[in-house]
Amino acid sequence: MEVNHALIDKLSLLARLEIKPEEKEKLRDDLQQMIGFIEKLQELDTRGIEPLIHLTEEINVLREDELKGSVERETGLENAALRNDHFFMVPKVIKK
């Protein structure tokens, strides 16, 4: 597959990317190299090889939950810069 400037322009439009003219040649070379690697992989004969879905056969190996101590409410609020009764107060981060 040939990677040219028209393809890069089309891909950048679809991806909503602004690519500077001086970056296009490097990007073209990189894409051409990646596509060449994929084309080389497609030449491999994979008949008889089972697809790898997971690295191991283990599924959801989880430990048991352990109950651990926690900080009392008042202790946690002792160093709060601002508080309102039992709650931390923080600066507003979402604008309406």
pLDDT in tens, 40-76: 999 999 999 888 888 888 888 888 999 888 888 888 8
Query: Are the C-beta atoms of residues 87 and 74 closer than 8 Å to each other?
Result: no
Give Rg (Cα) of the chain.
27
Q: Are 82 and 88 in contact (CB under 8 A)?
A: yes
Write down the pLDDT at residue 53: 84
pTM of the entire predicted model? 0.50
